[in-house]
Structure 1
Amino acid sequence: MSNLGEEKPAGSAPPEIVEAALRAADALGVPVADVPVLAVAQEAGMSRSTLMRRLGGTRRTLDEAVRARGVDPGGRKPVRERAVEAAASLISEHGLASVTLERVAAAARCSVHSLYAVFGGRDELLFAVFERYSPILDVEAVLAGPDEGLEQRVRRIHRLVAEALGRAPRVIPALLAEVLSRPQEPSVQVMAQRFVPRMLDGVGRWLAHEVAAGRIRALPPLLLMQQMMSPVLFHFLMRPVFQGVSAVDLPETETATEVFTQAFLRAVALPEPPPRP
């Protein structure tokens, strides 16, 4: 039998104490490491001495167990946020193939076990990176908002796409390069299976609704999406190249997105029906 004062192995804090520490940290609005031991004990429904005995006599046991759950006990960002940022930098600098859990863990200063605890695997990590650095969540929010008219909605989506393509790290340009150069690569296919149906269900369904309402031409949703997005994607993907060419008079971002918005409307918008007498 081990002595009561003997340290337990790192990360061996009982789950109910870990949960109590997380609840207490959330209630106080501070990192777990800043939650007093007494507050953790009260949340867990035990005395301070009982808590410390179950931790093997050291607060470090609790901190390591919390870290193993994917939550940094100190003032650093949570593992999820650090991992997404680390993976984004790897994609931007070295491409999609560079994103292994081992490299992400090293860059995020966490363990591979923590990444599995937070994401479940590499694919979910890549999904999280795409959601963070692509405009998909912002576009979905626009589509879920009140109807603002065809022109205004197209303009807002174009601006969101332009912002995402110009944002550092350059995740979306790197992912698009991977799609164009290796479309059958397993990670590309996994991303496509996850997000293409989602985009068709969002932007595609909105465009189909505009067709049904008689505001735009009756074209397949995928072709309408490409008609709307392709000029913006090409321009802002190539914009960093154009910036280095003295002979190119590069328009302001607002000017470019407005030109693309009006071009799309001229291509697909139908004239308003005359008012009834």
Structure 2
Amino acid sequence: MEVATNLVEAALRAARDLGKDVAEVPLTAIAAAAGVSRSTLLRRLGGSRKALDDAVRQAGVDPGGRPPVRERAINAAIRLISECGLGAVTLDAVAKEAGCALPSLHTVFQGRDGLLVAVFDRFGPVLDLETLAARPPDTVEDTVRAIYQAIAVAFGREPRVLPAIFADLFARPRGPGSQLLRANLPRLTGGLGALLSPHVRAGRLRPMPFPLLVQQLLGPVALHLLLRPALEELMDSDLPTVDEAVEYFAQAFLHAALLPEGGQAG
């Protein structure tokens, strides 16, 4: 349908005044700029703003439309963590970096903790472990190797958000890194439990307290991956590749935790 020129001009004027793309300007603001009510504006647009966006495009202006607030906020938080550390991720800083309103962040994430959990979902190993648990490998050996591969992938994602979270955890035991770990611990241990517990019950892995089993599993490889950037500069060609290191750590864990056939702990 044909859209009146004055409505196109009102949309451009409202976008300019608000510093936004036309696609992000609320219809109420466009209606106000045109001097009509929102219902009248919608009626003149045939019930949808698509006609207005098309008319703006025909006038030689891209109506724009940025990614959703959630995606922009997560990407903004990632940039802040990478450049300044986890402590720099305040909702005010994220809103400014993402170009969105503070109330929008509260609506989408229910606060800073929800935003940090979304970042951890993106860069942590939780989703990978849950996917792995949904279709676990057949053997305990392959399960351990797959867990280590998932951990290595998470630590290696760029920008290095996961190491920044651990750095904050070590520097400030009660800081946001610690809060983030506590918030995600149930899902992390849930995924690992789904992968390891069947082998414990079947007598393939030592029946030790589960938190200690997880620490024995993840502690050495996590420490290696945290230190690896420094080790690469110091050791250069003497340092095994990530895949080789994963295999070494997998063999070491299996040697310590795998029961001999027959299921009797030594």
Same fold (TM over 0.5): yes
Shift of 1:178: 1.2
Q: What aligned pairs does 1:79-94 form with structure 2 within 5 A after superposition?
A: 79-94=69-84
Q: Does structure 1 conserve the Cα–Cα contact (< 8 Å) formed by 2:109 and 2:115?
A: yes
Q: 1:260 aligns with which of 233, 249, 255?
A: 249
Shift of 1:171: 0.8
**Distance in 1 (alpha carbons) for counterparts of 2:120 and 2:170:** 17
- Is 1:52 the equivalent of 2:66? no
Shift of 1:147: 4.2
Q: 1:273 aligns with which of 258, 262, 266?
A: 262
Shift of 1:189: 4.6
SS in 1 for 2:234: coil
Q: What aligned pairs does 1:180-219 form with structure 2 within 5 A after superposition?
A: 180-185=170-175, 187-219=176-208
**Distance in 2 (alpha carbons) for counterparts of 1:153 and 1:80:** 34
Q: Does structure 2 conserve the Cα–Cα contact (< 8 Å) formed by 1:204 and 1:222?
A: no
Q: 1:117 aligns with which of 73, 90, 107?
A: 107
Match in the other structure for 1:28: none
SS in 2 for 1:77: coil
Q: Does structure 1 conserve the Cα–Cα contact (< 8 Å) formed by 2:145 and 2:246?
A: yes
Q: Does structure 2 conserve the Cα–Cα contact (< 8 Å) formed by 1:151 and 1:265?
A: yes
Shift of 1:176: 0.7
Q: What aligned pairs does 1:238-249 form with structure 2 within 5 A after superposition?
A: 238-246=227-235, 249=238
Q: 2:140 aligns with which of 136, 150, 156?
A: 150
Deviations 1:135-193 (A, max 9, x none): 110111101114421111110110111111121111111111111121122x3453233
SS in 2 for 1:110: coil
Shift in alpha-carbon separation, 1:246–1:206, aligned structure 2, 3 A: closer
Match in the other structure for 2:214: 225
Q: Could you list the runs of 5+ residues in structure 1 that have no partner in the other structure?
A: 15-45, 64-72
Q: Does structure 1 conserve the Cα–Cα contact (< 8 Å) formed by 2:204 and 2:258?
A: yes
Q: What aligned pairs does 1:7-156 form with structure 2 within 5 A after superposition?
A: 12-13=26-27, 50-52=43-45, 59=52, 74=64, 76-156=66-146
**Distance in 1 (alpha carbons) for counterparts of 2:190 and 2:240:** 33
**Distance in 1 (alpha carbons) for counterparts of 2:206 and 2:247:** 20
Q: Does structure 1 conserve the Cα–Cα contact (< 8 Å) formed by 2:143 and 2:195?
A: no
SS in 2 for 1:209: helix
* Identical columns (%): 42
Corresponding letter in the other structure for 2:208: L
Shift of 1:273: 2.7
- In terms of fraction of residues, the more helix-rich structure is 2
SS in 2 for 1:240: helix
Q: Does structure 1 conserve the Cα–Cα contact (< 8 Å) formed by 2:105 and 2:111?
A: yes
Match in the other structure for 2:34: none
Q: Does structure 1 conserve the Cα–Cα contact (< 8 Å) formed by 2:169 and 2:177?
A: yes
How well do the aligned residues superpose, as a CA RMSD in angstroms? Answer: 3.2
Q: Does structure 2 conserve the Cα–Cα contact (< 8 Å) formed by 1:13 and 1:55?
A: no
Shift in alpha-carbon separation, 1:164–1:49, aligned structure 2, 3 A: closer
**Distance in 2 (alpha carbons) for counterparts of 1:235 and 1:253:** 10
**Distance in 2 (alpha carbons) for counterparts of 1:145 and 1:247:** 37
TM-score w.r.t. length of structure 2: 0.74
TM-score w.r.t. length of structure 1: 0.72
Shift of 1:13: 3.4
Q: Does structure 2 conserve the Cα–Cα contact (< 8 Å) formed by 1:138 and 1:160?
A: yes
Shift of 1:132: 0.2
